[in-house]
Structure 1
Amino acid sequence: MKRCEVLIVGAGPTGLVLALWLSKLGIKVRIIDRTSGPGTTSRALAVQARTLELYRQLDLTAAVLERGHRVPAANLWVKGQVAAHLPFSVIGAFVTPYPFLHIFPQDEHEQLLIERLQGFGVEVERETELMGFNQDGQGVSAQLRHGDGLEEHCEANYLAGCDGARSTVRKALDIDFPGGTYQQVFYVADVQASGPALNGELHVDIDEADFLAVFPLAGSGRARLIGTVRDERAEHPDQLRFEDVGQRAIEHLKIQIQQVNWFSTYRVHHRVAEHFSRQRAFLLGDAAHVHSPAGGQGMNTGIGDAINLAWKLASVLRGKAQPGLLDTYEIERSAFAQRLVSTTDQVFNFITADGRVAALLRTRLAPRLIPRLVAFKTAREFLFRTVSQVTLNYRYMPLSTGNAGHVQGGDRLPWVAEGGRDNFNCLNRMCWQVQVYGAVSASLVQWCSGHGIPVDVFIWSEAHEAAGLVRDAVYLIRPDGYIALARSNADAQVLEDYFEERGLRPG
C-alpha cells in the first residue's frame, strides 16, 4: 500500500500545478489520471497575467513566456473592418509586469508542468482510475484500479478532485453541479492561414454572421479559430467537418485558409458546484466550475484554485495551521467562480445572441460605444484587470482584514517597479511576509524575525502612492501573494493578534 499526504485525481493543468506547489512545499503527493498520456490537442490557450505572476513562485514564468506567443492587442471587427483596437501594452503597463495576453497551448503547457514535476521525483500515474473512497477524521482511504486490471488501496491525508466536469470525486461526494448548457454549438480549428487577421494579435468578429475569434499561435500563419455553428448545422455537431461550418465570418475577417490541422465541435456549459469540499476531499478546476470560454478564464481559474489550496494544505499538514484554515478554500474560490460564471454568461450571451435587436447591438451600438469607452484610462484598466484576473480579491473573508489607502485585506498586492526594485520579486518566496513602503518600527521587525517572517522595506516614492499604497503602512502578505492584513498604524501586537485569532503559526 502506497501512502501519501495528498492524492490528486486528474493530471490536467489544475492537478499538475497543485502537485507542483505541494511538492515544492515538501508535501508527499500522488497524482493519477485515467488517460494513457497527456493531451495532444491545444484546448485551453490563454495564460493570463495573474497566472504569470503566480508562476514566478515555481520559476515557471520565464519558460512559459519563452515557449508561448505574446499577444499585444485585441481587435473587434464589424462589417469586414476593424472597429476597435485595444493595445494591451498601453492598458496594463503600470498594472502588471505582464501587460499582454499570452498564448501557450494546453498540451505544451501540460508537458512543461510534467517536466517540472519530474524534477521533484513525482511521475503522473497513467491509466490509473479512482474507483471510490472513504474518509473519516484520520484521512482518506481510496480504491484505485490500474490499466492492467490490478486494484490498489491507497491511504492519504487529503484528496483533491481535479478530474474535470464529469468528476468522479464530485459524484462520489454527492455534490450537486447546478447550471446548464448553452444551445449554441461551437467549433474549434487549428489552421494554417493568411490575411490581415493573422498578424499575431487577437481578432474577434461581432457581426451578424457567425461569431468568430482568431487566436494567434506560435509560428507564422498559425491560428486557433473558435466560432459558432448556427441553424440546422448545429443539430448533429458530431457529424460536422470544417467545410460544413459557416464561412461568412471567416470571409469578413479576410482569412485565407491553407490547411486545417485539427477540428472539433462542442457545447458550452455553465455550472458551479454547490460545495467545493466535503471533509477531507476537495474539488478544483472544471470539477468545481465550468463556464463559457469568453475571456480565456477557465484554465487560469483552475490554476488559481490549485495555488489557493496548496499553501493551506501544506500549512495544516505541517502543523502551521488548524484544519479550519481549509474551510477558507471554498469561501474564497466559490465566490470567485460564481462571479466569473455570471460575467462570462453576460459576455457569451452578447456575442452569440440571435435576432435583429442583438445584431443591431453588435453591429451598430457596440462599434460606436466600445472605442469611446476604451478611450478612458479607467475603463481600459478595468477591462484589462478583469480579464487578466489581477482584480481578483478575497475582501471581507476570514483571512482578510484592514485597509490602508485604496488597498484592503484580501487584495492582490499592487505591483510597483521603482528605483531598480520590483516588489513582486519578494513574492517568489512561498511564505508569510511583510512589506512596508517608508519606515518600519524596530519592534515590528524584531517580532517578525522571531517568527520567521521576512520584512522588506522600500524607500517611499510617488510610484507607490500612485499604486494605492500608503506610506509607512504594514502589509502582511499570504504565501500565495495576496494581502492578508493592511494597516496604517500596525505594531507587532496587531500581527500577533492576526495569527492567534485564526489559529495560524507563521515561519
Structure 2
Amino acid sequence: MKQNKEVLIVGAGPTGLVLALELAYRGVAFRIIDKNDGPGESSRAMLVVPKVLESYKKFGLDQTVSEKGIRPEHINYYVKNMKKSAIPLGRLGRGQSAYPYVVTFPQDEHEKVLLEQLKKMGHSVEWKTAFDSLEKIDDMNKVVLKKQDETVTGLFDYVIGCDGASSSVRKSVGITFSGETYEEIFYVLDAVIDGKITHEESGSFVFVEKYFALFFPLRNRQTTRGIGMFPPDLVRSEAFSFEALKPRLENEFSITIQKKNWFSDYKIHRRTADQFNQETVFLAGDAAHIHSPAGGQGMNLGIGDAVNLGWKLAAVILDDVDEALLRTYESERKRLAESVVSRTDNAFKVMASQSKVSQLIRTRVVPLAAFAAGQSEWLQSQVFKVLSQLYISYDESPLNNQGTSKLKSGTRLPYADGEQFEFKREAGWQLHYFNEAPDFSLFKKEIPVELIRRRWTDKTSKAGFEKDYLYLVRPDGYIGWTGKPGSTKELFDYIAVWIT
C-alpha cells in the first residue's frame, strides 16, 4: 500500500464525518475541516435507516445508534385528532435486513457519536476552518482556507465538498445546482407535548385539509420532534413565529405544548448538482442533492454517498487502481439522487398542494392506504424496502459485468440466513461461492479478495442465490461480478481492471 496523496474533506456533518470514518478505516490520510465552532446543537434530520446501520457495522456503531435512538413501534395516521390507521414499524423488515427497523436519532446526537468514533481512530475535525477558494495547478487543487483571522493555503490531490446546500466547494468549481425552491414554509419544533397524537414509542402523521405535520418521540420519552407545513393563512400574513403557530396546532390537533426547546422555520428545495465531480473535486450529501424531507431520505442518502466514494478513493490512493473507478461515483450516485429527488418531489407536491384533490388525498386516501398497508405483510415489506433504502441498486454501473445469474451485478448482496453481515465485516472485496472456488494461484499477482464459502440453505435459495455461481462482492456490499466457476478468465480480467 502507498499513501502519497492528500485528501481534504470540507464539512463535518454526517456525510463528511462518515467519509472521514471510511477513509480512516481503510488507512487513508486526510484532513477534515468545518467553518463552525463545533458540532451542531439542533437539526432537522432524525431518521436513520437500515442501509446506514449496515454500513456502520464495520465501525461498531450499528448497535450504538440503535440503542441511543428510539425504534418507533408504529407510524399512526390521524385526520385532525382522530386516529384512522397505523403501520407497524418495529419488525417491518423481517427477513430483509439484520436491522428490520428504523431509528429516530437526532442529527446533533448522531454527529457526536460519529465524532467520538473518529477520535478513537486517531482523527479530529479542524473546527473554525473555512474553505475559501480553489485553484487548479496542474493535477493538484490549491485550496485557500481561513482560520479565524489567518489565511493559509494547501495543495490537495482530492477535495470533497460535504459542505451543504450552499456548498462553497461546488460554487468554487462552477457546478450548477439545478432545481427550485418550494413556496411553502415549514417548521421544525422540539417540545414537550401532551395529546393523544403523541406517543412514547410511535410516530404520527397528522393531516388537516390544508396542511400536515409529523410527530416523533425524541431524545427522551417526554420530548417530541414536530415537522410540518405552516398553515397557508399564516404564510399569507407572514406570521412565521412559534407564538403564531402554537394556538393553531393546539386547537386543530388537540394537543398542549407545555415547553418549547427549539423552533425554526425554513423553506424546502429540490435541487441536484449537474455534476457530482469535476476532475478531482467531488460533491456529496446536500452539496450534491437536496429535496423535501418526505420519507426521511436526505441524510441517509448523503451517508450513502460517503460510503460509495470512500472505498473508491481508498482503492485508487492505496492500491493504485485506475482513476476510472472514481468516475463510477457520479454514474452511480447521481442517477440515484435524481430518482430520489423526483420521487420525493412528486410526493411533496401532492401532500402540500391546496387543490381539492390533494386535500382529499391527505384526509381520505392516505389514511386508507395506510390502513391497507397495516393489514398486509406484503405491502409492509414494500414500504420498508423503500424507506430503508435497501431497494438501491446500481443497474447501469460501469462496474457491472453481464453475468447470467438471477442476482444481477449492481444489486445489494441479499440478506439470507443471517450470514450477510458477518461476511461483510472486513469491508473488502469478497468472492462468495457455494461449491467450487476458482484457483487464484493462476493469477499473476496477489489478489486482495477474500474467499467466502457459503452454506447452501433454503434461505439462500429464496434470496436468489444459485448454487453453481460465484458472486464477487464490492466493499460496499453490492455485487460487482457474477459467473460460474469456469469463468476464470472473465473473473481475472475484471479483477485486473477494478481491484488490482
Q: What is aligned with 2:499?
A: 505
Query: Structure 1 residues 135, 490: closer, same or farther in 2, change over 3 A?
Result: farther
In the TM superposition, what is the alpha-carbon distance from 1:402 to its structure 2 partner? 3.8
Aligned counterparts of 1:473 and 1:75: Cα–Cα separation in 2: 44
Q: What is aligned with 1:430?
A: 427
Q: What is aligned with 1:297?
A: 297
In the TM superposition, what is the alpha-carbon distance from 1:448 to its structure 2 partner? 12
Aligned counterparts of 1:191 and 1:9: Cα–Cα separation in 2: 32
Residue 481 (str. 1) matches residue 477 (str. 2): yes
Aligned counterparts of 1:139 and 1:431: Cα–Cα separation in 2: 28
In the TM superposition, what is the alpha-carbon distance from 1:372 to its structure 2 partner? 2.7
Aligned counterparts of 1:384 and 1:267: Cα–Cα separation in 2: 28
In the TM superposition, what is the alpha-carbon distance from 1:109 to its structure 2 partner? 1.0
Q: What is aligned with 1:460?
A: 456
| SS in structure 2 at match of 1:424 | helix
Aligned counterparts of 2:464 and 2:271: Cα–Cα separation in 1: 35
In the TM superposition, what is the alpha-carbon distance from 1:119 to its structure 2 partner? 2.1
Q: What is aligned with 2:183?
A: 183
In the TM superposition, what is the alpha-carbon distance from 1:127 to its structure 2 partner? 1.3
AA aligned to 1:96 is S
Residue 284 (str. 1) matches residue 280 (str. 2): no
Query: Structure 1 residues 354, 247: closer, same or farther in 2, change over 3 A?
Result: farther
AA aligned to 1:107 is D
Specify every segment of 5 or more residues in structure 2 that has no aligned partner in the other structure, as ranges. Answer: none
Aligned counterparts of 2:364 and 2:328: Cα–Cα separation in 1: 45
Equivalent residues of 1:13, 1:303 under 8 A apart? yes
| SS in structure 1 at match of 2:221 | coil
Aligned counterparts of 1:404 and 1:56: Cα–Cα separation in 2: 31
Q: What is aligned with 1:271?
A: 271
AA aligned to 2:168 is T
Equivalent residues of 1:189, 1:260 under 8 A apart? yes
Aligned counterparts of 2:474 and 2:214: Cα–Cα separation in 1: 37
In the TM superposition, what is the alpha-carbon distance from 1:248 to its structure 2 partner? 5.2
Q: What is aligned with 1:167?
A: 167
Q: Residue deviations 1:321-349, cap 9 Å, x none? A: 10111110110010010000011112212
Aligned counterparts of 2:483 and 2:281: Cα–Cα separation in 1: 35
In the TM superposition, what is the alpha-carbon distance from 1:169 to its structure 2 partner? 0.7
| SS in structure 2 at match of 1:62 | helix
Aligned counterparts of 1:405 and 1:255: Cα–Cα separation in 2: 55
Equivalent residues of 1:271, 1:291 under 8 A apart? yes
Aligned counterparts of 1:38 and 1:450: Cα–Cα separation in 2: 43
| SS in structure 2 at match of 1:335 | helix
Q: Report 1:134-213 matches (<5 A).
A: 134-147=135-148, 149-196=149-196, 197-213=198-214
Aligned counterparts of 1:31 and 1:98: Cα–Cα separation in 2: 30
Q: What is aligned with 1:379?
A: 379
In the TM superposition, what is the alpha-carbon distance from 1:231 to its structure 2 partner? 2.6
Equivalent residues of 1:210, 1:246 under 8 A apart? no
Aligned counterparts of 1:40 and 1:448: Cα–Cα separation in 2: 53
Residue 118 (str. 1) matches residue 119 (str. 2): yes
Aligned counterparts of 1:429 and 1:449: Cα–Cα separation in 2: 21
| SS in structure 2 at match of 1:37 | coil
| SS in structure 2 at match of 1:43 | coil
In the TM superposition, what is the alpha-carbon distance from 1:356 to its structure 2 partner? 2.0
Aligned counterparts of 2:484 and 2:370: Cα–Cα separation in 1: 39
AA aligned to 2:229 is T
In the TM superposition, what is the alpha-carbon distance from 1:290 to its structure 2 partner? 0.5
Q: Residue deviations 1:123-158, cap 9 Å, x none? A: 2111111121122453221111111x1111111110
In the TM superposition, what is the alpha-carbon distance from 1:243 to its structure 2 partner? 2.5
Aligned counterparts of 2:409 and 2:479: Cα–Cα separation in 1: 5
Aligned counterparts of 1:101 and 1:19: Cα–Cα separation in 2: 24
Q: Residue deviations 1:66-99, cap 9 Å, x none? A: 2211122211222532222111244311111111
Q: What is aligned with 2:350?
A: 350
| SS in structure 2 at match of 1:40 | coil
Aligned counterparts of 2:95 and 2:331: Cα–Cα separation in 1: 30
Q: What is aligned with 2:367?
A: 367
Task: Work out the percentage of aligned pairs sharing the same amino acid.
Answer: 36
AA aligned to 1:101 is V
In the TM superposition, what is the alpha-carbon distance from 1:250 to its structure 2 partner? 5.0
Equivalent residues of 2:189, 2:263 under 8 A apart? yes
Aligned counterparts of 2:54 and 2:201: Cα–Cα separation in 1: 23
In the TM superposition, what is the alpha-carbon distance from 1:8 to its structure 2 partner? 0.8
Residue 393 (str. 1) matches residue 387 (str. 2): no
Q: Residue deviations 1:216-271, cap 9 Å, x none? A: 1131221100111123422576x633221165555555433211110000000000
| SS in structure 2 at match of 1:322 | coil
AA aligned to 1:495 is L
Aligned counterpart for 1:469 among listed residues 465, 472, 478: 465
Specify every segment of 5 or more residues in structure 1 that has no aligned partner in the other structure, as ranges. Answer: none
In the TM superposition, what is the alpha-carbon distance from 1:492 to its structure 2 partner? 2.7
Q: What is aligned with 2:320?
A: 320
Query: Structure 1 residues 379, 312: closer, same or farther in 2, change over 3 A?
Result: same
Q: Which is worse superposed, 190-199 or 269-278?
A: 190-199
Q: What is aligned with 1:129?
A: 130
Query: Structure 1 residues 136, 370: closer, same or farther in 2, change over 3 A?
Result: same
Q: Report 1:49-64 matches (<5 A).
A: 49-64=50-65
AA aligned to 2:67 is E
AA aligned to 1:423 is Q
| SS in structure 2 at match of 1:31 | strand
AA aligned to 2:92 is I
Q: Report 1:438-453 matches (<5 A).
A: 438-441=434-437, 443=439, 450-453=446-449
After TM superposition, the score normalised by the length of structure 2 is 0.94
Q: Residue deviations 1:437-480, cap 9 Å, x none? A: x3123636986995131111122111112222222321111111
Q: What is aligned with 2:329?
A: 329
AA aligned to 1:318 is L
Query: Structure 1 residues 218, 127: closer, same or farther in 2, change over 3 A?
Result: closer
Aligned counterparts of 1:480 and 1:305: Cα–Cα separation in 2: 11
Aligned counterparts of 1:34 and 1:182: Cα–Cα separation in 2: 28
Q: Which is worse superposed, 449-458 or 66-75?
A: 449-458
In the TM superposition, what is the alpha-carbon distance from 1:198 to its structure 2 partner? 2.0
| SS in structure 2 at match of 1:469 | coil
Aligned counterparts of 1:171 and 1:113: Cα–Cα separation in 2: 27
Aligned counterparts of 1:359 and 1:165: Cα–Cα separation in 2: 31
AA aligned to 2:429 is W
| SS in structure 1 at match of 2:6 | strand
Query: Structure 1 residues 383, 67: closer, same or farther in 2, change over 3 A?
Result: same
Q: What is aligned with 1:233?
A: 234
Aligned counterparts of 2:200 and 2:93: Cα–Cα separation in 1: 21
| SS in structure 2 at match of 1:415 | coil
Q: Residue deviations 1:291-315, cap 9 Å, x none? A: 0011111111111111111111111
Aligned counterparts of 2:251 and 2:413: Cα–Cα separation in 1: 44
Aligned counterparts of 1:416 and 1:250: Cα–Cα separation in 2: 47
In the TM superposition, what is the alpha-carbon distance from 1:426 to its structure 2 partner? 1.5
| SS in structure 2 at match of 1:181 | strand
